[in-house]
Amino acid sequence: MIEDDREIAELLEEYLFQYDIKITNFETPELGMSGLRLQKYDLVILDLSLPEIDGIEVCKLIREKSNIPIIISSARGAIGDKTQCFELGADDYLPKPYDSQELVLRIHSLLRRNKIIEEKAQSTKKIFEINESKYEILKNNQPIELTNGEYNILKYFIKKAGYAVSREELLLNVESIKYESSYKSIDVLIGRIRSKIEKNPKQPQYIVSIRGIGYKLINE
């Protein structure tokens, strides 16, 4: 949970604990984002009126990095705030004040739905898989030797599998690529990745070129 009101956070922690829901609260967006990077959580409860960074921006930052379910818990009930949050990837919006029992029901509903989605995803065998704990990518369960830049590019492609990805998008979203880098340098890196994952890099079947746009990863 990312909630700067310590009293509300403590009350919710105590209440949810009765339902076997363990909460770790972070009072600032920076601590919350750091916590998400360092540990695996099942769901985020996010306030909007936070110090330094507005909760809507935090929602956007979380969704750019993760598919974790997000419940907005906020006294801000304006339709504009709700619209922005849902457009940025929030899964639910609970205006304060609310009955804590309703929060429990919504948490259970989201976790149940997310579990079904994960089970469906696992049942569909993918060619490329990311093992973030080991900082490696597998092709048909075999690790691929990649440099840091190659790893981060291929990781981004896997997360966007089936969608066209432009070079500009890679510059904006892959941290190991400097924004000042040229499109040609990105093409060189992709060429190196192809040499490691394709049977014939000159006729790629996994990272295919999309004319006038960029590239697309085929992962099934």
**84 with 120: CB under 8 angstroms?**
no
Mean per-residue pLDDT, 16-33: 93
- For residue 113, the model assigns a pLDDT of 86
- For residue 87, the model assigns a pLDDT of 93
- For residue 39, the model assigns a pLDDT of 86
pLDDT digits (tens, 9 = 90+) for 41-58: 999 999 999 988 999 999
Mean per-residue pLDDT, 176-195: 86
pLDDT digits (tens, 9 = 90+) for 158-183: 999 989 999 999 988 888 887 666 78
Retrieve residue 122's tokens. Answer: 């696992």
The helix-helix angle for 55-65 and 79-87 (nearest 10°) equals 10
**Which residue in 178, 173, 171, 143 sits closest to 160, CA to CA?**
173
The helix-helix angle for 100-123 and 6-17 (nearest 10°) equals 70
- Provide the CA 96 distance to its chain's centre, in angstroms: 26
d(CA 110, CA 68): 10
- For residue 179, the model assigns a pLDDT of 61
Q: How many CB atoms lie within 10 A of CB 70?
A: 23
**pTM for this entry:** 0.55
- For residue 116, the model assigns a pLDDT of 66
d(CA 125, CA 219): 9
- For residue 192, the model assigns a pLDDT of 96
pLDDT digits (tens, 9 = 90+) for 112-149: 888 766 665 565 668 999 998 889 999 999 999 999 99
Mean per-residue pLDDT, 199-216: 94
Q: Are strands 92-95 and 128-131 parallel, antiparallel or unpaired?
A: unpaired
pLDDT digits (tens, 9 = 90+) for 55-107: 999 999 999 888 899 999 999 989 999 999 999 999 999 998 889 999 999 99
Retrieve residue 166's tokens. Answer: 């432009």
d(CA 148, CA 172): 17
Residue 30 confidence (pLDDT) above 70: yes
pLDDT digits (tens, 9 = 90+) for 94-113: 998 889 999 999 999 998 88
